[in-house]
């Protein structure tokens, strides 16, 4: 699809659109005349036709523009913005060079130019009201909902330091320096005072979440850095709102009335605004979670509740003049876990996709409108000194603030933040639409230089988004230039490198990447006992054990595969053949979306274990003969290695992303690794116990535990010739009652049947052999996996859920056949 | 983080450990907290199941080997000093530490790091990575769809490229020579307080 055809298409649309604007203006004027005429004549109610004059004949078709004008324009603008985004994505060369946000702003310039050319006035500005009430909330809800909680909360201290102290510093420094320069005469004559400078400083101080995400998405930085900048951009809204309102009030009061009392009130208002906003968010999160607990019957629309309640939390906070962004953020942050657990799978997916659509759509529109708004002669006031000095101060003080605060924070950190990261952090302090919105909401009667401020804000926004966005990626690359340029590595080196990465990732996991201290565990305990009882559906609570459900899925999958294969071949005797047929289960198994999104930073969103008929996998079996024996000599081992080595966790760690939401290939990889590990553990355990060549694929016949309606979709019909070991999978519950006063305790016990029908011992097929454990000597004693029972996801999740009470184990022991447990 | 000093006093032989491994007191305390957290049943030592319970570890293809490396020489219990010693391998190389030619190499010297990794490959501890052992490692690290023949060819080629003395196995020296990778990264205990 040539970009040119798209371009011409877009231009056509724009031309039509421009013409429409012109005609709409004409229509507006004429219809308003007529409407006033009609109201004068007293006909109220319907304004059906264009004229109040009586019609002379039955109209077949009438032109009803003024009926649909507003929604039509809105829809048309949305369409045009999204088309711009489409165009921006089309040209891949351009895309790798320019950040998408910059391209959107430029498209906005073009569109603005067209509209201005048609109307000689900018009819479509970014009105602050529309921005704050219709475009911003969904973006923030999206960030809150997808926030990596563990990372966020463990870095909360640093984030708050930057958000609060950093923003205050920025505001004060910029304001005072500008005032100083003004006094020094660098700006000529302006009707402006210190307070107004401070007000201006405060609206420019805040790092903008929309812009930060847009740029950082394209630049991959390490997760601590990312969460710092990201978290700061969200939490500084609390400060910005306070500063803006306080200085606005000061400006209204006038300089004389400001005394200590007022200043103290200002400080108090900070706490009220910030905590109040967050509290509202938490309240709404509780509401959402409670609601989803009971919406099982209306699964079809339960996804919608999140959006409505999220939006209400924003508006409520706004109504109470508290920080609306904080409210929505915390609403999303707090409700994610419970909502994901309570809602049906499909609803969860629906919510996620819908959020991404709204957020992405809004972001696109914001950037385009930022561009459109610029093309307006009314607001442009040029004052070289003011503008250039502002730019300079904004940049410089950002750097200074970040470096200073990080220096302080580093003294309390085990791992200091490096210089490179600090530079990236400073450079990533982008201003965006929020600043513009605040500037546009200034009261021009009190603030005479409003237009100058708007101009300056726009220029700062463009500078940061376009220029800094452009240079971010090259800067990062340049700063990290210390990498050794690799010569062609030998195979062993490639393998080693990958092995090293895996080892490092494992060591990080073992040593606990995120602090695991008393506070964390205490919270987890509290949460498990009280909060999940209150906010989660009973079924969801039961099924929280992630590992267990994975295990179960694994075995179902095996069973289904074998049975399907048997159906194809008539019987399961195919497993007897060892003449080199390779049974290669290429699984595009989706578990019908039941498999949780592992990659979401270990926030194991839960799934109800429902192996219904939905879980019929699409198994494709490739059975090919041993022609591979005859491989040609120049077999490309290097290429194969490159392609097929598993990537380590660093390479596919979760990144919050607004534009990418997909179950990507790395998830499949992780699932594969996970399954293999589980399998090998099961089988090494089995081989240790049986002392027999582990010739069987293992499955489980879940005991029909009377307490649990664990429907298993697979058959336990023993008449089929299953070459399976009899492993009974017991699932017992220590606390029988759902009283909720004791923690849920699930235990997986895996016991091995003593007797095995020798007829079922078969030699493994080639493919099955691959899975057999290589069992290094010291590993067969890796006693079976102890799967613990705690909730797998929480705000502050330690790596391995804690099971403080182990006394349950002993009473269970006598009931095991072999005395071995998992 | 709370009172490092008081926690430090609870850890037996903390001073010796710090000396031996080069960890700072804050690091040792952090590791101790982690050790205790991993030890769910409060046994006072760790066993393989405790490692198995770390979820992220199960997503690592060579997790079992790594766990095995902690429990070397067939033991089933891991006490705190051994835990710390193994993690100490991954500290950054101390460039500034005075080099005393007579003292044994530091635990996190490059050579020791490589030795640790070598041991992951060499399961039977004969000082060489045989073809079979290499095959096993490759099997775990490569995706499922790589067939057995492909695996064997890769293993053969790998040994061919690395093996200098033609004994069809990779010794530690050959391994070391082929590791251009400088283990300059280290694990970082990402406690953020």
The model's confidence at residue A357, banded by pLDDT at 50, 70 and 90, is very high
Confidence at A23, pLDDT banded by 50, 70, 90:
low
Q: Which of A621-630, B7-16, B145-154 has the lowest mean pLDDT?
A: A621-630
Does residue A572 contact residue A722 with C-beta atoms inside 8 Å? yes
CA–CA distance from A15 to each of A114, A183, A623 (Å)? Answer: 8, 49, 58
Helix (H, G, I), strand (E, B) or coil at A150: helix
pLDDT in tens, A256-311: 777 788 888 888 988 899 899 999 999 999 999 998 888 888 888 888 899 999 99
CA angle A660, A663, A666 (to 5 degrees): 100
Percent of chain A with pLDDT over 90: 14
Better pLDDT: A88 or A459: A459
- Please list, in sequence order, all residues whose beta carbon lies within 8 angstroms of the beta carbon of residue A57, skipping any fewer than 6 positions away: none
Put simply, the answer to whether A508 touches B71 (Cβ < 8 Å) is no
At A755, the pLDDT band (50, 70, 90 cuts) reads: very low
pLDDT band of B72, cuts 50, 70, 90: confident
Is pLDDT larger for residue A112 or for residue B158? A112
Residues 78-117 of B with CB under 8 A from A: 87, 90, 117
Between A277-281, A400-404, A616-620, the lowest mean confidence (pLDDT) is in A616-620
Query: Tokens at residue A412, please?
Result: 């309390």
pLDDT band at B68 (very low <50, low <70, confident <90, very high): confident
Q: Please indicate, yes or no, whether the overall pTM of this predicted structure exceeds 0.80.
A: no
**At A73, phi and psi to the nearest 5?**
-65, -40
- pLDDT value of position A460: 92
Average pLDDT, chain A: 69
Of A244-248, A254-258, A700-704, A740-744, minimum mean pLDDT range: A740-744
Residue B192 and residue A799: Cβ atoms within 8 Å?
A: no
Rounded average pLDDT over A243-251: 85
pLDDT for the residue numbered B151 = 82
Higher pLDDT, A478 or A367: A367
For A144-172, the pLDDT digits (tens) are 998 888 888 888 888 998 899 999 999 99
The DSSP output letter for A722 is -
User: pLDDT tens-digit profile of A519-560?
Assistant: 777 777 888 788 877 888 777 776 666 555 666 666 677 788
Cβ–Cβ below 8 Å for B188 and A415: yes
pLDDT of residue A402: 92
B interface test, pick of A492, A676, A677, A769 with most B CB neighbours within 10 Å: A492
Q: In this predicted structure, what is the pLDDT of residue A79?
A: 92
Q: What value does the mean pLDDT of chain B take? A: 74
The domain segmentation of chain A, as residue ranges, is: 128-479, 491-558
By residue count, chain B amounts to 193
Give the strand pairing for A701-702 and A727-733. Answer: parallel
More confident call, B146 vs B190: B146
Q: How far is CA A27 from CA A50, A75, A77, A125, A197, in A?
A: 10, 19, 19, 20, 43
Q: Which two tokens stand for residue A675?
A: 């399954």
Distances, alpha carbon A278 to alpha carbons A101, A135, A458, A590, B143, in Å: 29, 20, 30, 38, 46
Cα A149 from chain centre: 10
The partner residue sitting opposite A680, judged by closest CB among B31, B40, B64, is B64
Looking at domain A128-479, which of 1.20.81, 2.60.40, 3.40.5, 1.20.1530 is its CATH number? 1.20.1530
Considering only CB atoms, B52 lies closest to which of A646, A769, A786, namely A786
Chain B residues in contact with A767 by the CB 8 A cut-off are none
- Put simply, the answer to whether A782 touches B190 (Cβ < 8 Å) is no
On whether any CB of chain A is under 8 Å from the CB of B1, the answer is yes
pLDDT above 70 for A486: no
Q: Report the residue of chain B nearest A627, measured CA to CA.
A: B149
Residues in chain A closer than 8 A to B193 (CB atoms): 157, 412-413, 515
Q: Which of A326-330, A341-345, A427-431, A589-593 has the lowest mean pLDDT?
A: A589-593
Nearest to B64 among A492, A782, A801 (CB): A782
pLDDT tens digits, B17-56: 888 887 888 888 888 888 888 887 888 888 888 887 777 7
* Structure confidence at residue A818 (pLDDT): 38
What local confidence, expressed as pLDDT, does residue A189 receive?
A: 76
Residues of A in contact with B87 (CB under 8 A): 507, 510-511
Distance of residue B18 Cα from the nearest chain A Cα, in angstroms: 15
* Nearest by Cα to A501 from A646, A315, A327: A646
Residue of B nearest to A508 (CA): B187
- Residue A480 Cα, gap to closest chain B Cα (Å): 14
Confidence band, pLDDT 50/70/90 cuts, at residue B95: low
Verify whether the Cβ–Cβ distance A631 to B51 is below 8 Å: no
pLDDT tens sequence across A412-426: 877 778 888 888 888
CB contact under 8 A, A674 and B190: no
Range among A151-165, A560-574, A761-775 rated most confident:
A151-165
When pLDDT is averaged across residues A653-659 and rounded to a whole number, the result is 59
CA distance A470 to A481: 18
More confident residue, A715 or A211: A211
> Chain A within 8 Å of B8 (Cβ-Cβ)?
no
Residue A612 has pLDDT above 70, yes or no: no
User: Which pLDDT does position B159 carry in this prediction?
Assistant: 81
At residue A332, the pLDDT reads: 93
C-alpha torsion sign, points B120, B124, B125, B129? negative
| For range A29-58, the mean pLDDT | 48
Average pLDDT over residues A97-120: 85
| B29 in reach of chain A (CB within 8 A) | no
Between B105 and A725, the more confident residue is B105
Interface confidence (ipTM) of the complex: 0.85
Closest chain A residue to the Cα of B54, Cα to Cα: A800
pLDDT at A341 > cutoff 60: yes
Predicted local distance difference test score (pLDDT) of residue A308: 94
pLDDT digits (tens, 9 = 90+) for A312-322: 999 999 999 89
Instruction: Please give the torsion angle defined by the CA atoms of residues A496, A499, A501 and A507, in that order, rounded to the nearest 10 degrees.
Output: -130
Among A503, A553, A665, A779, most B C-beta atoms within 10 A, so best to mutate, is A503
* A440, β-bridge pairs: none
Q: Which of residues 383-412 of A touch B (CB under 8 A)?
A: 412
Give A628's contacts in chain B (Cβ within 8 Å): 147, 149-150
Tell me which residue in B139, B141, B153 faces A631 most closely, judged by beta carbons. B153
Torsion of CA A709, A711, A717, A722, to 10 degrees: -120
Query: Which of the pair, A207 or A722, is modelled with greater confidence?
Result: A207
Contacts of A649 in chain B (CB under 8 A): 56, 59-60
- Judged by average pLDDT, the poorest of A199-213, A396-410, A503-517, A602-616 is A602-616
Contact A599, A667 (CB under 8 A): yes
Asked if B37 and A516 come within 8 Å (Cβ–Cβ), the reply is yes
Structure tokens at B105: 């190499």
- pLDDT category at B104 given cuts 50, 70, 90 is low
Tell me whether B191 touches chain A (CB under 8 Å): yes
Q: pLDDT value at position A572?
A: 66
Most confident of A336-345, A412-421, A763-772: A336-345
Taking an 8 Å cut-off on Cβ atoms, the answer to whether A776 and B68 are in contact is yes
**What per-residue confidence (pLDDT) applies to A47?**
38
DSSP letters spanning B35-57: HHHH-TT--SSB-HHHHHT-GGG
* pLDDT tens track for A778-820: 333 333 333 333 433 333 333 333 333 333 333 333 333 333 3
Q: Would an 8 Å CB–CB cutoff place A343 in contact with chain B?
A: no
- Chain B residue numbers with beta carbons less than 8 Å from the beta carbon of A770 are 139, 144, 148
**HSE, side-chain direction, 13 A CA sphere, residue A4:** 0
Asked if pLDDT for residue B73 goes beyond 90, the answer is no
Cα B169 from Cα A273, distance rounded (Å): 68
Interface test with B, best of A510, A547, A578, A792 (most B CBs within 10 A): A510
Look at A25-29, A99-103, A675-679 and tell me which has the smallest mean pLDDT.
Answer: A25-29
């Amino acid at each position: 699809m040539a970009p040119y055809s798209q371009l011409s298409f877009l231009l056509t649309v724009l031309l039509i659109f421009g013409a429409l604007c012109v005609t709409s203006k004409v229509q507006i004027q004429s219809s308003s005349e007529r409407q006033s005429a009609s109201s004068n004549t007293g006909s109220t109610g319907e304004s059906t036709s264009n004229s109040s004059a009586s019609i002379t004949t039955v109209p077949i078709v009438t032109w009803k523009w003024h009926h649909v004008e507003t929604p039509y324009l809105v829809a048309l603008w949305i369409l045009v913005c999204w088309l711009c985004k489409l165009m921006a994505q089309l040209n891949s060369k351009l895309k790798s060079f320019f950040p998408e946000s910059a391209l959107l702003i430029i498209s906005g310039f073009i569109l603005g130019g067209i509209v201005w050319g048609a109307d000689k006035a900018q009819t479509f500005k970014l009105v602050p009201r529309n921005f704050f009430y219709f475009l911003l909330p969904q973006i923030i809800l999206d960030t809150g909902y997808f926030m990596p909680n563990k990372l966020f909360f463990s870095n909360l201290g640093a984030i708050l330091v930057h958000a609060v102290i950093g923003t205050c510093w920025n505001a004060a420094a910029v304001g005072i320096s500008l005032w100083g320069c003004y006094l020094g005469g660098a700006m000529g004559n302006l009707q402006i005072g210190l307070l107004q400078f401070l007000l201006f400083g405060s609206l420019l101080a805040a790092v903008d979440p929309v812009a930060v995400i847009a740029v950082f998405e394209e630049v991959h930085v390490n997760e601590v850095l990312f969460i710092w900048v990201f978290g700061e951009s969200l939490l500084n809204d609390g400060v910005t709102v306070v500063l803006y309102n306080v200085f606005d009030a000061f400006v209204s009061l006038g300089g004389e009335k400001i005394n200590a009392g007022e200043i103290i009130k200002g400080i108090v208002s900070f706490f009220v605004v910030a905590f109040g906003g967050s509290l509202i968010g938490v309240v709404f999160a509780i509401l959402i979670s409670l609601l989803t607990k009971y919406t099982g019957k209306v699964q079809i629309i339960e996804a919608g509740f999140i959006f409505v309640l999220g939006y209400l939390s924003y508006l409520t906070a706004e109504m109470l003049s508290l920080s609306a962004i904080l409210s929505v953020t915390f609403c999303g942050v707090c409700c994610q876990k419970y909502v994901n657990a309570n809602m049906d799978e499909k609803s969860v997916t629906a919510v996620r996709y819908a959020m991404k659509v709204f957020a992405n759509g809004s972001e696109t529109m914001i950037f385009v409108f930022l561009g459109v708004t610029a093309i307006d002669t009314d607001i442009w006031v040029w004052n070289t000194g003011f503008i250039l000095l502002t730019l300079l101060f904004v940049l410089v003080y950002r750097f200074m603030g970040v470096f200073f605060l990080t220096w302080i924070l580093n003294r309390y950190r085990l791992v200091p933040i490096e210089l490179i990261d600090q530079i990236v952090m400073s450079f990533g302090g982008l201003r965006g639409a929020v600043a513009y919105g605040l500037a546009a909401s200034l009261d021009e009667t009190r603030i005479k230089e409003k237009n100058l401020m708007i101009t300056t804000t726009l220029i700062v926004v463009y500078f940061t988004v376009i220029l800094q966005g452009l240079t971010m990626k090259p800067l990062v690359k340049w700063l990290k230039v210390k990498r050794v340029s690799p010569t062609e590595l030998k195979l062993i080196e490639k393998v080693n490198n990958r092995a090293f990465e895996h080892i490092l990732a494992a060591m990080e996991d073992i040593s606990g990447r995120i602090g695991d201290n008393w506070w964390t565990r205490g919270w987890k305990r509290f949460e498990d006992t009280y909060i999940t009882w209150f906010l989660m559906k009973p079924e969801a609570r039961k099924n929280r054990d992630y590992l267990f459900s994975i295990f179960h899925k694994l075995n179902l999958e095996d069973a289904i595969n074998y049975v399907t294969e048997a159906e194809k071949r008539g019987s399961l005797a195919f497993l007897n053949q060892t003449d080199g047929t390779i049974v290669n289960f290429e699984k595009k198994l989706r578990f019908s979306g039941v498999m949780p999104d592992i990659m979401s930073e270990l926030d194991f969103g839960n799934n109800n274990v429902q192996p219904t008929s939905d879980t019929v996998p699409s198994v494709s079996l490739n059975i090919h003969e041993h022609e591979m024996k005859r491989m040609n000599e120049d077999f490309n081992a290097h290429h194969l290695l490159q392609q097929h080595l598993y990537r380590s966790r660093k390479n596919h760690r979760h990144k919050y992303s607004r534009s990418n939401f997909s179950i990507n290939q790395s998830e499949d990889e992780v699932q594969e690794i996970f399954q293999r590990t589980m399998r090998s553990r099961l089988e090494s355990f089995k081989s240790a116990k049986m002392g027999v060549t582990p010739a069987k694929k293992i499955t489980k016949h879940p005991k029909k535990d009377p307490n649990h309606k664990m429907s298993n979709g697979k058959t336990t019909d023993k008449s089929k010739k299953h070459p399976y070991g009899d492993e009974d999978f017991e699932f017992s519950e220590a606390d029988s009652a759902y009283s909720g006063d004791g923690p849920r305790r699930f235990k997986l016990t895996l016991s091995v049947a003593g007797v095995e029908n020798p007829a079922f011992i078969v030699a493994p097929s080639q493919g099955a052999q691959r899975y057999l454990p290589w069992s290094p000597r010291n590993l067969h004693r890796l006693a079976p996996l102890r799967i613990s029972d705690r909730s797998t996801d929480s705000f502050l999740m330690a790596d391995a859920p804690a099971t403080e009470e182990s006394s349950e184990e002993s009473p269970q022991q006598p009931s095991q056949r072999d005395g071995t447990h998992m | 983080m709370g009172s490092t000093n008081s926690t430090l006093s609870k850890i037996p032989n903390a001073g010796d450990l710090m000396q031996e491994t080069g960890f700072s007191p804050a690091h040792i305390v952090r590791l101790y907290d982690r050790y205790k957290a991993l030890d769910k049943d409060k046994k006072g030592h760790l066993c393989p199941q405790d490692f198995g319970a770390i979820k992220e570890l199960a997503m690592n293809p060579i997790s079992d080997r790594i766990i095995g490396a902690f429990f070397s020489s067939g033991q089933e219990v891991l006490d705190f000093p051994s835990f710390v010693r193994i993690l100490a391998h991954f500290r950054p190389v101390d460039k500034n530490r005075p080099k005393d030619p007579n003292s044994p190499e530091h635990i996190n010297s490059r050579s020791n790091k490589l030795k640790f990794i070598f041991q992951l490959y060499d399961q039977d501890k004969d000082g060489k990575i045989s073809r079979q052992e290499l095959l096993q490692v490759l099997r775990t690290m490569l995706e499922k769809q790589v067939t057995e023949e492909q695996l064997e060819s890769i293993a053969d080629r790998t040994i061919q490229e690395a093996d200098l003395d033609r004994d069809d196995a990779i010794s530690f020296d050959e391994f070391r020579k082929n590791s251009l990778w400088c283990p300059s990264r280290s694990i970082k205990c990402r406690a953020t307080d």
